[in-house]
Amino acid sequence: MELLWIHWAAIVGAGFLAGVVNAVVGSGTLITFPVLLLSGHPPVVANVSNTVGLVGGGLAGTFGYRRELREHGGTARLLLPVSLVGGMAGALALLVLPPRAFAIVVPFLVALGVVLVAVGPWLRGRGAARASERGVLDGGRRVVVCAVVLLLGAYGGYFGAAQGILIVGIMGLLTQASLQSLNGLKNLLVTGVNIVAAVTFLVVAPDLIDWRVVAAIAAGSIVGGAVGARAGRRLPPSLLRGLIVVVGVVAIADLTLR
């Protein structure tokens, strides 16, 4: 499929914004994935290529939050393997289920992601309000968090929009960690899921990867991830959230009218 230069510029720009959003808030997929759909890419190819392309931006954002991650090294070592297992399961589900199933369910996934972005401040507020009431992860909460992270990893491997917001919200409810440190943990877990999903796609279904799209998204997201981790805390979250909601609604309309 031949695209005009303006389409490639839009994909690179979407990758940059997704890198910033993923580092600061999460749900950058709701920017890149709709742009790929609006550019004419099939849903499964767009999803797979988007996942591979966002790996670089995730690594940049995670590196930028390395100081916050050191605060919760034990929790990260506990949850990362769980998240990786879930991510592999979700990626395999995407490849096993027929493409038509993904095309049918993706408008609902995008809508779910848009809703989660919209209620993100509420989730964060709930986490902050209860943080002082919660201790470290004890046995009971550890099991709950591991189970939830496993499910979210599977969701992330399959589609992934707003996975990070859910991680921050749930961890904020169950721990006393600061939101900034949770953001670092979120970046690590989401990036881990993207990496294991990307490796799964490379091994099992390399024909579904459009490397031009991967390169365009990676170029934008790596810069965006670095910018987001360094200066993204100063950007108005409401502006980014509003952009995600608008793009997501446009994508839902485009998908449902096809």
Whole-number pLDDT of residue 132: 46
CB 229 within 8 A of CB 64: yes
Range of the domain at 245: 8-256
Q: How far is CA 143 from CA 80, 112, 147, 227, in A?
A: 14, 25, 6, 35
Q: Is residue 2 part of a domain?
A: no
Q: Is residue 45 part of a domain?
A: yes
Q: Is residue 3 part of a domain?
A: no
Whole-number pLDDT of residue 154: 94
Task: Annotate 28-78 with DSSP letters as a single string.
Answer: THHHHHHHHHHTT--HHHHHHHHHHHTHHHHHHHHHHTHHHHHTTHHHHHH
Q: Is residue 39 part of a domain?
A: yes
If one counts every other C-beta atom within 10 angstroms of the C-beta of residue 176, the result is 14
Q: 245 pLDDT exceeds 60? A: yes
pLDDT digits 0-9 by tens, 62-93: 998 888 888 778 888 999 999 999 999 999 99
**In this structure, which amino acid lies at residue 222?**
I
Quickly state the pLDDT bin for 16 (edges 50, 70, 90).
very high
Q: How far is CA 67 from CA 61, 71, 109, 201, in A?
A: 12, 7, 33, 31
Whole-number pLDDT of residue 234: 65
The answer, as to whether pTM is greater than 0.75, is yes
Whole-number pLDDT of residue 72: 76
- Mean pLDDT on 48-74: 89
Most confident of 33-47, 66-80, 177-191: 33-47
Average pLDDT over the chain reads 83
pLDDT digits 0-9 by tens, 115-169: 776 776 676 566 555 544 444 566 677 888 899 899 999 989 998 777 887 787 7
What CA–CA distance (Å, rounded) separates 28 from 106?
A: 16
Whole-number pLDDT of residue 133: 47
- What is the number of structural domains in the chain? 1
Lowest mean pLDDT among 44-53, 98-107, 170-179: 170-179
Q: Is residue 236 part of a domain?
A: yes
Of 38, 31, 136, which Cα lies nearest the Cα of 78? 136
